[in-house]
Structure 1
Amino acid sequence: MQGLTHIERNGCKKMLGLLSKGDILSLTDTVTNKMIAVESVKEAVEAILSYSNCAEELLKRKKVHRDVIFKYLAKEGVVIPSNSEKHQLIKKTLEFWSNATVKTEKVVVSQSPDTEAEQRVSVTAEAAGEAVFEPLALARQFCQWFYQLLNSQNPSLGQPPQDWGPQHFWEDVRLCLLTSINGQQTEEFHGSELASLRLLALARDERLLLSPNLEPHGLRALSSPHGLVLVAVAGTIHRDRACLGIFEQVFGLIRSPLDKNQWKIKFVNLKIRGQDSLSGAEELVSPALTCDSSELQLLCS
């Protein structure tokens, strides 16, 4: 029996956490041919993971519904069209797991009771070293952390919101929000409290789900000699099952020596474009960045 890799096992465990108790118990009977008696959901999940021949087999089970896989991918910050069929979601999930690298798991685990989200945004001293520091690896890790955190505030996902707040921003952070939906509107916010509240409103109040494109054409990173790292990412915006348009977001990140050397957000530029302002449907499938490295370089100066 091939079994599941460590990454696949963790991913499947998260996905099974989205199923109802009845579906999990039923799935246990199917996977184990009713040969294993379980007394709790935890035991049922362990049995499912242990007796599944491979990840693809488990994902194809009827009890692992399409919506469950979609929700899992959204939480992990994986871009996928909202009208994707189950077999497409399975393919994307398997690709996501196969592309996962050890670097994304090199995080600083604090001895204090910090949240998992705060731990994930930290990187090891080795990864922070000048000789091995890779801005693109940090950018991918940061985007997975940020959009999972922000999307968790959306009540339509039906999950407990993670620890969002001004603590993830520098006190003098600047947020610039440009929306092109039925006309163009620009908003600007200064300070960690106002910036975090405005971004929170996008997910919690406006119920928007931001799905970043972490493929090469949708993600770019650049670092300055002074410690500023720029992360630019494109993606799609959803509400429930509807895809509303695309976004392009640029973050400026700087380490905070007073906060366990974690990366904190110095500025955010967010452009949102509705479907009415798009030239073609292709952009909705896998949106690409429009800003290039020279434009990012200007933000470093």
Structure 2
Amino acid sequence: MSGLSETERAGCTKLLQSLSKDDVFSLSDTVTNKLIVVENVTEAIGAIITFTENAEEFLKRKKVHRDLIFKYLANEGVVMPPNSEKNKLVKRTLELWSSGKVGTGSGLELVLGQQFCQWFFPLLNSQNPSLGQPPQDWGPKHFWPDAKLCLLSRAGSEQMEEFLGAELVSLRLLALTRDEQVLLSPNLEPQGLRTLASPHGLVLVAVAGTIHRDGACLGVFEQIFGLIRSPLENNSWKIKFVNLKIRGQDSLAGAETAAPTLTYNSTELQLLFS
């Protein structure tokens, strides 16, 4: 039914999530000729996406106003002159969608991902005595009380460990750097870092990188963090879950470890929102 590509569907959904509830319902009625009864905003957005023939038709609708498209583009890292007319913004959005370079979090979300990694990894690495630095303030306070850690390591054999609760998660990650004396070096270039935000406040930061000990590269890692703001603590971000996958040098079969890239795609990451 829908004539939209996957990239266009994702873009249209993002724009619709910025509209007021009334506007979404009204647009759903218009697009479906009131043939579909929707119960909530999620169903309304689904109906609009399904019955939209093409992206240009969607972007030109009255309810999808100029400022909305302008903000969307800014969020995707596309800077347009503030006085751009709507048809210029529509054209630029269609170009962006057809290029497929969307949802890599190139805008504000990527900045959040980078800032988080630039805070988290130096903090964790500072616990490693081989660095000869005073350890920074690590502890369970950076995690939600029901935080969860899944640690999958592949070095020869495969090992899976799970930890529940801020205290245990914090201690297991601490053991990596303090006791096992490893250093995690994230690749903060676009191919090594991806950030996705759900409309419900959960932000996923996925990052790839290399693992070192005493100057030697031991292998690569991929780590996904689920972050949620804590309204009680100045709206600071706290970690809800961590999935850490470590592959030792021997299981890489000579793969490039200089700048590891993420193997997760956006669809796989979005499954973590459910």
Using the size of structure 1 for normalisation, the TM-score is 0.55
Q: How high is the sequence identity, in percent, across the aligned residues?
A: 74
State the Cα distance separating 1:280 from its structure 2 match: 2.4
Distance (whole Å) between structure 1 residues aligned to residue 203 and residue 255 of structure 2: 32
Query: Runs of at least 4 residues of structure 1 off by over 6 A?
Result: none
Distance (whole Å) between structure 2 residues aligned to residue 229 and residue 195 of structure 1: 19
User: Max radius of gyration: which structure?
Assistant: 2
- The residue aligned with 2:156 is 182
- The residue aligned with 2:260 is 287
Distance (whole Å) between structure 2 residues aligned to residue 261 and residue 281 of structure 1: 41
Distance (whole Å) between structure 1 residues aligned to residue 130 and residue 116 of structure 2: 23
Distance (whole Å) between structure 2 residues aligned to residue 273 and residue 295 of structure 1: 19
* Aligned residue among 227, 233, 250 for 1:276: 250
The alignment status of 1:228 with 2:202, answered yes or no, reads yes
Distance (whole Å) between structure 1 residues aligned to residue 109 and residue 140 of structure 2: 24
Deviations 1:105-148, CA, capped at 9 Å, x for gaps: xxxxxxxxxxxxxxxxxxxxxxxxxxxx8211100000010000
Distance (whole Å) between structure 1 residues aligned to residue 122 and residue 129 of structure 2: 13
Unaligned runs of 5+ in 1: 1-132
Deviations 1:62-108, CA, capped at 9 Å, x for gaps: xxxxxxxxxxxxxxxxxxxxxxxxxxxxxxxxxxxxxxxxxxxxxxx
The alignment status of 1:264 with 2:264, answered yes or no, reads no
The Cα RMSD (Å) is 0.9
- The residue aligned with 1:298 is 271
Distance (whole Å) between structure 2 residues aligned to residue 248 and residue 281 of structure 1: 15
State the Cα distance separating 1:279 from its structure 2 match: 2.6
Q: Match of 2:161, as an amino acid?
A: E
The alignment status of 1:253 with 2:211, answered yes or no, reads no
- The residue aligned with 1:43 is none
Aligned length: 168
Q: What does 1:42-191 align with in structure 2 at a 5 Å threshold?
A: 134-191=108-165
The alignment status of 1:243 with 2:243, answered yes or no, reads no
State the Cα distance separating 1:253 from its structure 2 match: 0.2
3-state DSSP of counterpart to 2:130: helix
Unaligned runs of 5+ in 2: 1-106
State the Cα distance separating 1:297 from its structure 2 match: 0.5
Distance (whole Å) between structure 1 residues aligned to residue 186 and residue 147 of structure 2: 22
3-state DSSP of counterpart to 1:289: coil
